[in-house]
Structure 1
Amino acid sequence: MIKAIPFAKKTYGYFQKLEYQRRFAGDCYGCFQGVFDTFEQAIQSAPKTKPIGYDNDELAQEYKEMAELGDWEHSKRTIACYDYPVLFWLNSIFTDHPVNTIFDFGGNVGIHFYTYKKYVIFEKVKWIVCELPEIVKAGEELAKKRQEKDLLFTTSFTNASHTDILIASGSVQYIDNFSKEIEQLPKKPTHILINRLPIYSGKQFVTLQNGGKVFYPQYVFNKTEFIESFNDVGYKLIDIWEDKVDRCFIPFYPKNSVSCYHGIYFKLTS
């Protein structure tokens, strides 16, 4: 084939990249592009077709409209395979320890609360969702409409202090140094359940994700370094599981692509 000729192969690869960049700039939800050292580099590489970041007016308006209709689709969804380990450990923790508060970092408008309460009894438990301001507004409106008195919202991570369980599902990769944020809390959560986490055996890096209406920079972590960062702030690894639903395939970077995400349960030892 002509594209096997060295010069033609190089030219063919160049046009392949151009075509992918064109697709990525448009409706390529869940796609990834590039390998970078920092969030700033990833943001600079982003196409100008969409805004950057999750705290977006258009997204928030969409959530508000769903809240007004009382029909937030995620609250009706069945659990995914990656939810089962979280539910298992939540039930185990509830059985063995008193639980008063759950801090849900990046919990959107309360999707985990609405889903998990079908399978775990959260009697007298305050569920606190930490989100960006526009998302918090939509979540509070939905909770008020559904008369959920035990579902609260905050924009401050410091409210994770003195909580019993911290849940972070599909959110840790979008911030810098999560374990350091935990370390700086006046009183660290006893249990940490991290889900939908991109970790692998290679070097940590940042990539750019197409989130539909926006672009997000996100980390892909080195597995050993990530676990050790929590060991260093007083946590021990209790369990780790595979998430076969999520993956990070980065065209033209096969060594950096992640075939499946993971979930991790850490417990405070000091």
Structure 2
Amino acid sequence: MKNTAYPLLRSAVRSLNRSLTPLKAAGGRLRYLSPFPQRFTGAYSSFEDAIAAARSNGLAGYDHEEIAQVAFDKMCQVAPWDYPVLFWMRQVMGEIDGLVDAGGHMGTKYRAFRDLLSLEGSFRWVVYDLPAIVQAGRRRAEQDELDNLHFVDRIGDAGPVPLFLGSGLLQYLDIQLSDLLGRMPALPRHLLLNKVALREGGAIVTLERIGKAIVPYQMRDEEAIRRDVERLGYHLVDRWTIPSLAHVIETHPELGPSESAGFYFRLQ
């Protein structure tokens, strides 16, 4: 009896979800009319379409100094989802002398991790980000006298580094990761990705509200990410999930929740 009951129950749940999809969609579209701003709105097939929609609604994209300070103090704290990254960084610290922190904002991970890792001496932590964020980050690092923290707005200027860290990078990156890695002088041996937004059924781009700005936010296909980096010679060492960072697009709940995950790849 038990062997037949579970498949029947799963089938009934799937049928119920399908029947509720039009209601979910209608309810989601009504949120466009809400006087309260939603965190995620819209669903687009490309970054270009998403940024065009964002421009029609005000401050678009992340390249604005006005949003550099949004949640800065909170981002400088160690979060639960940082610990897999810290674990793998500790495993390789003996063989690396620096890293590039792609999408590293104003050096928030450096500030969060420096008391937990050996980052003093000649260790170079290079943040790659957009020009407005880099400018704000440099000023803040000078104020805080963080001599090991450097900033570039062209990733090739980071020089050859043994570790690439992308924590919360891929949802805001408007190119393939392999294209970004290809702009570096040499491929980093270690590749750590965290807080990667994933979804089944193909990638989509939504719009996220960050302070006063509206920013394209991509939920990617996991297999596409893996193929993209594996063709460069990387192989997957570890993968972890971050359930607390799953998101639903408020205006398009019928598309289902995203999954947040992290990856450690090593160059063969």
TM range (shorter): 0.7 to 0.9
What residue is the counterpart of 1:92 in the other structure? 91
Give the deviation of 1:13 after TM superposition.
6.6
* Structure 1 residues 11 and 242: CA distance shift in structure 2, 3 A: closer
Structure 2 counterpart of 1:165, from 163, 166, 174 = 163
Alignment partner of 1:144: what SS? helix
What residue is the counterpart of 2:244 in the other structure? 245
Measure, in 2, the Cα distance between the counterparts of 1:12 and 1:112.
Answer: 38
Alignment partner of 1:137: what SS? helix
TM-score (norm 1): 0.81
Measure, in 2, the Cα distance between the counterparts of 1:90 and 1:131.
Answer: 21
Between 39-48 and 81-90, the greater mean CA deviation after superposition? 39-48
Matching residue's letter, 1:35: A
**Paired residues of 2:41 and 2:252 also in contact (CA < 8 A):** no
Measure, in 1, the Cα distance between the counterparts of 2:139 and 2:164.
Answer: 23
What residue is the counterpart of 1:27 in the other structure? 37
**Paired residues of 1:160 and 1:166 also in contact (CA < 8 A):** no
What residue is the counterpart of 2:212 in the other structure? 213
Measure, in 1, the Cα distance between the counterparts of 2:129 and 2:137.
Answer: 9
Measure, in 1, the Cα distance between the counterparts of 2:213 and 2:222.
Answer: 27
Between 177-186 and 100-109, the greater mean CA deviation after superposition? 177-186
What residue is the counterpart of 2:44 in the other structure? 36
Alignment partner of 1:136: what SS? helix
Q: Does 1:149 align with 2:160?
A: no
Task: Identify unmatched segments of 5+ residues in structure 2.
Answer: 1-21
Matching residue's letter, 2:245: D
Q: Does 1:231 align with 2:242?
A: no
Matching residue's letter, 2:90: N
Measure, in 2, the Cα distance between the counterparts of 1:191 and 1:12.
Answer: 42
**Paired residues of 1:100 and 1:125 also in contact (CA < 8 A):** yes
Measure, in 1, the Cα distance between the counterparts of 2:191 and 2:171.
Answer: 15
Give the deviation of 1:74 after TM superposition.
3.7
Spell out the pairing of 1:76-115 with structure 2 (5 A cutoff): 77=77, 79-95=78-94, 97=95, 99-115=96-112
Alignment partner of 2:266: what SS? strand
Alignment partner of 1:85: what SS? helix
Give the deviation of 1:224 after TM superposition.
1.1
Between 200-209 and 245-254, the greater mean CA deviation after superposition? 245-254
Give the deviation of 1:19 after TM superposition.
3.6
The count of aligned residue pairs is 246
**Paired residues of 1:199 and 1:258 also in contact (CA < 8 A):** no
Measure, in 1, the Cα distance between the counterparts of 2:33 and 2:98.
Answer: 46
Measure, in 2, the Cα distance between the counterparts of 1:128 and 1:121.
Answer: 15
Alignment partner of 2:66: what SS? helix
Measure, in 2, the Cα distance between the counterparts of 1:46 and 1:145.
Answer: 33
* Structure 1 residues 125 and 37: CA distance shift in structure 2, 3 A: same
Alignment partner of 1:118: what SS? coil
**Paired residues of 1:160 and 1:189 also in contact (CA < 8 A):** no
Aligned-residue RMSD, C-alpha = 2.6
Spell out the pairing of 1:245-264 with structure 2 (5 A cutoff): 245-251=244-250, 253-254=252-253, 256-264=255-263
Alignment partner of 2:261: what SS? strand
TM-score (norm 2): 0.82
Measure, in 2, the Cα distance between the counterparts of 1:218 and 1:42.
Answer: 9
Spell out the pairing of 1:180-195 with structure 2 (5 A cutoff): 180-195=179-194
Percent of aligned pairs with the same amino acid: 27
What residue is the counterpart of 2:6 in the other structure? none
What residue is the counterpart of 1:73 in the other structure? 73
**Paired residues of 2:171 and 2:219 also in contact (CA < 8 A):** yes
Measure, in 1, the Cα distance between the counterparts of 2:202 and 2:75.
Answer: 36
